[in-house]
Every structure is written in C-alpha cells, then in structure tokens.
Amino acid sequence: MSGFGQQKDDESGVGRFPAEVIERLEAYAERVGISLEESKERFVRYCEDEFEADMDDVLSEEDWAIDLSESFFLSSRTQRASSAQGTKLVGMFVGAEGRVGDRNQGLKKAAISRFEEDPVAAIESGWIGRYKWLDDEDRWVVHTKAAVVDATGSREEPDFGFRCNGDWLCLLGGGKPRPASNNGRYYLFIGNTEDMFESDIRLLKIDSKGADLDVELRYREPCVVNVNAQRDNLPAFLHNVFETRIGWADNIEYTDTFVGEELRHLLKPEKFLKNKQMHDYYVELADLVDAYHKGKETSSTGKQYGPTVITSGTVVRHNAEAREGSAGDYYLVALSSAALEHQQGDGLQSEVPVFIDEQVVNLTDSFHAPFKDGMGRWAEQSRVFVCGQISVNVRDGREEARINGTSIMGIEGRCRRWRDGGNTDLSQFE
C-alpha cells in the first residue's frame, strides 16, 4: 500500500500523507504534546498560511510534501510541551488589538544603522546579510559572515530584502535569509501566572504571530493558556507581554478549576471584570477622564496616550453598518450610565463613544452575547463591558472621554436581543 493510502482519504488531504511525512508529523506531535490527528491538522494550516500552498497540490508531489513537513517539524524546536521555558497564565481574554505590528522593525532599524556605520562589521556580526545580484547568472546571492549563500527574488527585489541606501540587506537565521517582517497582534488577557493569580492580577498582552495572527478565542471565559516564559532583563514596556508558540490557541483549556471551588463564582465575567478588590483596571464611565489623567503616558515623540481599562455601560446608540476611516472601517457604539448623566446632563456629553475596528469586532465577536438559547446579536439598551484605551477630546471647553475599543462583551441576562426591523430601503418613500 502506498503512503498516500495509509489513512482514510478525505477532501482536506489530511489522510493521504506519505510515510516520510507521517514520521515527521509524529515527531512534531510527540515534541509538543499533541495527538497525531491534531499534528496533521496543524500541518495543513501551516502549509496554507506560511507557504500559501494548497494541500492537494502539496500531496501531488511527494518531495514537496516531505520538504514542507521537515520545515513544519523544525518550527517546533521552541515549542516543546514540557519545556522549562514555558509558563501558564490563568484568567480570561478581554480583547484584541486592531493594529498589527512588525516585530522585526527594531531589528531592521538596528541592522541599517549598523551597516551604515561599518558594513564589514555588520556582516561579521553574523545576523545581517548583504545581497548581491549576479548579472552573468541572473540570480541573487547573500554575503554572510560564514559563506555566500543562494537567494531568491526578482531582479528588482530579493525575497526577504530591505533597503539600506543603495544596498539590499536581510536578517539571517541559521545562516540563511529569513523573512524581513514578522507581524504580530496583541490579545488582551486579564490574569497572571498560576502562582501569582490570587495576589496580583494584571492586564497582559499575548503576542500572536505568523499563522496565528488571527485566532479564534472564547472571550470572558476563565481559561489556562500556555505561553513562553519571559526573558530576564526585559525593557519596561515589555513587562506585560508574553510570547507564544505556533498553535498556542489550540491548546487553551477553558476552565475555572485554577481556583478553589468556593471562589469560582467570582470568575463570572459580570463579577470578575469589575471587582476592584481583585484588580485596578475597572473604571466607571463617569470616572474615565480622571483615569486618563492619572494613567496617561508620554511617548518618545511627545504624544500622550491613555491607559487601557475595562468599563461598562448601557448601549444608547449603535451604528449597525461600519463607517469608513483613514485606518480602516470601524463601528461607533455609545455608552451611558445614570452616574454619567447625573454628572454631565442628558445630552451627547452624557455619552462615551466607543470606536472599534471592524476587524476587532469580527475577531472578538463583539456584537454577540450569550442568550439562553445560544449566542445572538445584542441591541441598544443592552448592558455591556468594554475593554479599550482611553483618550480625551475637548468640546466647548469641556473634556470628554472616548474609548478605542479592543472588545465589547455582552453578558447573559443583561442584553436585549437584536430584532430585525422592517423595510429600511428609502426608495419605498419615492
């Protein structure tokens, strides 16, 4: 029997792997502590996300399938299930940042600076390469500290290259060019490591990159998350950031058993998210301006930005369709409360606008809440929690808070169900 027939055939190609591919998938599964079936599923996603390769095409060429399974296995070198470098966080997810950042940006800036200062020393550092185009051979090569290695790309631009004046440079990994960009997205998590959860709850950022840039999570549910342990001597701005391994979201355990049974009722989101005896991140709508001034920081460029907090209120306005913005489409949701209205009156000043990217809405399922018969879309007059960054706008000489949302979280029993209306086509009035 051929390798392609060792497992049951299916449309995704998961069951038609050659024997040598199966060997590597088994080794991957053993290394990261998962089943062979899950290893197969991850391999399919890895090929699609990292190499833009359809599995049916990959399996039509056995050598190609073996090569990609080799890369897949080696990608797990930093993912050992029992690695001493791993740690567990306990708590719950409360948001996702809309902005995607290039985690290699600092490295590229450092490489350019070093090369401009001394090109020879830069190459001798071992982590920077310099491309050269060979006219007679119509191809690129890269000069590294140890050797001259082959490279790919068009005549106009090498793969993985970035400009430094008139030269093309690259970052090196294992002596070979590696992607110039490494995009990541932060997912917000309120909690801490298992040993610190009961004494120090923090708002953390979990950095998810590559194939895991957009992951499906269950927000407002207690869970245990495996992440990389933090390195020593991290700069202050990274103290609340945890790195992840490929497939980290697939290994989340949604459970509340990390606290004693007598305390588990406190992990219900309507209690946990606003319990000021547990953490300092909850702020009432009426106190957002004060929280901005107490927690604002100034960047190296002099720009001031407010803290990220959790708040709650009743939805008084909500546009059902996304609006166009300079940074992408977004939604506007306005919250209010009795305390804010008492403080500001009953006009627009008694509302806090929440601006939330369309992509964030989709990632966090922000417009849906649990109802008795399952998830459903909530409507105005629903009571919701919001996680996001505070900013302040001045109107008519008065400071007003607004929020750049990373999620909107509806709670069962506190939300009104969305009801489809009648015909909204204006042509009916013509």
Lowest mean pLDDT, pick from 97-106, 280-289, 371-380, 421-430: 421-430
- The answer to whether residues 97 and 225 belong to one domain is yes
Local confidence band at 3 (pLDDT 50, 70, 90 cut-offs): very low
Q: How far apart are CA 303 and CA 406, in angstroms?
A: 21
CB 230 within 8 A of CB 246: no
- The answer to whether residues 302 and 365 belong to one domain is yes
Whether residue 424 is contained in a domain is answered as no
Q: How far apart are CA 265 and CA 143, in angstroms?
A: 61
- The answer to whether residues 96 and 236 belong to one domain is yes
Lowest mean pLDDT, pick from 62-66, 109-113, 246-250, 267-271: 62-66
pLDDT of the residue at 296:
93
pLDDT tens-place string over residues 154-179: 999 999 999 999 999 999 887 889 99
What is the average pLDDT across 334-360? 89
252 Cβ contact partners less than 8 Å away, ≥ 6 residues apart: 217, 218, 223, 224, 225, 226
pLDDT tens-place string over residues 192-215: 998 899 889 999 999 999 889 999
pLDDT of the residue at 113:
93
Q: How far apart are CA 42 and CA 48, in angstroms?
A: 10
pLDDT of the residue at 29:
81
Task: Pick the closest to residue 408 from 316, 315, 325 (CA basis).
Answer: 315
Using the predicted structure, report yes or no on whether residue 1 has a pLDDT greater than 80.
no
Q: Is the four-CA dihedral 375, 377, 379, 385 of positive or negative sign?
A: positive
pLDDT of the residue at 427:
39
What is the average pLDDT across 3-28? 61
pLDDT tens-place string over residues 106-157: 889 999 999 999 999 999 988 999 999 999 999 999 999 989 999 999 999 9
The dihedral formed by the CA atoms of 380, 386, 392 and 394, expressed in degrees to the nearest 10:
10
- Total domains in the fold of the chain: 4
pLDDT of the residue at 332:
95
Q: How far apart are CA 359 and CA 217, in angstroms?
A: 14
The phi, psi pair for 319, rounded to 5°, reads -80, 125
pLDDT tens-place string over residues 36-53: 888 888 888 888 877 777
Lowest mean pLDDT, pick from 105-109, 195-199, 380-384, 420-424: 420-424
Local confidence band at 424 (pLDDT 50, 70, 90 cut-offs): very low
- The answer to whether residues 377 and 301 belong to one domain is yes
Whether residue 40 is contained in a domain is answered as yes
What is the average pLDDT across 380-396? 93
Local confidence band at 238 (pLDDT 50, 70, 90 cut-offs): confident
C-alpha distance across the termini of the chain, in Å: 71
What is the average pLDDT across 408-430? 67
What is the average pLDDT across 261-271? 94
pLDDT of the residue at 31:
73
Cα 281 to Cα 93, 192, 387, 406: the distances in Å are: 14, 14, 9, 14
Whether residue 420 is contained in a domain is answered as no
What is the average pLDDT across 170-193? 92
Whether residue 243 is contained in a domain is answered as yes
What is the average pLDDT across 364-377? 94
What is the average pLDDT across 223-245? 86
Local confidence band at 77 (pLDDT 50, 70, 90 cut-offs): low
Whether residue 426 is contained in a domain is answered as no
Using the predicted structure, report yes or no on whether residue 421 has a pLDDT greater than 70.
no
pLDDT of the residue at 46:
83
Q: How far apart are CA 404 and CA 388, in angstroms?
A: 5
Whether residue 119 is contained in a domain is answered as yes
* CATH code, domain with 371: 2.40.50.140
Q: Computed over its alpha carbons, how large is the radius of gyration of the chain?
A: 25
Lowest mean pLDDT, pick from 37-46, 83-92, 242-251: 83-92
358 Cβ contact partners less than 8 Å away, ≥ 6 residues apart: 322, 328, 329, 330, 331
Using the 3D structure, point to which of 131, 151, 178 is the last residue of a domain: 178
Cα angle vertex 128, ends 127, 129, to 5°? 125
pLDDT of the residue at 81:
44
The overall average pLDDT reported for the chain is 86
Using the predicted structure, report yes or no on whether residue 303 has a pLDDT greater than 50.
yes
Using the predicted structure, report yes or no on whether residue 262 has a pLDDT greater than 70.
yes
The parent domain of residue 383 ranges over: 285-410
Share above pLDDT 70 across residues of the chain, in percent, rounded to a whole number: 91
Local confidence band at 55 (pLDDT 50, 70, 90 cut-offs): confident
Q: How far apart are CA 386 and CA 406, in angstroms?
A: 8
- The answer to whether residues 318 and 396 belong to one domain is yes
- The answer to whether residues 218 and 267 belong to one domain is yes
- The answer to whether residues 313 and 384 belong to one domain is yes
Whether residue 430 is contained in a domain is answered as no
- For residue 304, the Cα-to-chain-centroid distance in whole angstroms is 24
pLDDT of the residue at 425:
39
- The answer to whether residues 302 and 354 belong to one domain is yes
- The answer to whether residues 306 and 404 belong to one domain is yes
37 or 407, which is more confident?
A: 407
Q: What is the three-state SS of the chain?
A: CCHHHCCCCCCCCCCCCCHHHHHHHHHHHHHHCCCHHHHHHHHHHHHHHHHCCCHHHHHCCHHHHHHHHHHHHHHHHHCCCCCCCEEEEEEEEEEECCCCEECCHHHHHHHHHHHHHCHHHHHHCCCEEEEEEECCCCEEEEECCCCEEEECECCCCECCCEEECCEEEEEEECCEEECCCCEEEEEEEEEEECCCCCCCCEEEEEEEEHHHCCCCCCCCCCEEEEEECCCCCCCHHHCCEEECCCCHHHHCECCCCCCCHHHHHHHCHHHHCCCCCCCCCECCHHHHHHHHHHHCEECCCCCEECCEEEEEEEEEEECCCCECCCCCCEEEEEEECHHHHHHHCCCHHHCEEEEEEHHHHHHHCCCEEEECCEEEEECCCCEEEEEEEEEEEEECCEEEEEEEEEEEEECCCCCCECCCCCCCCHHHHC
Q: How far apart are CA 91 and CA 213, in angstroms?
A: 21
Whether residue 428 is contained in a domain is answered as no
pLDDT of the residue at 173:
83
Would you state the structure tokens that stand for residue 26, as one six-digit string? 């088994």
Q: How far apart are CA 45 and CA 22, in angstroms?
A: 16
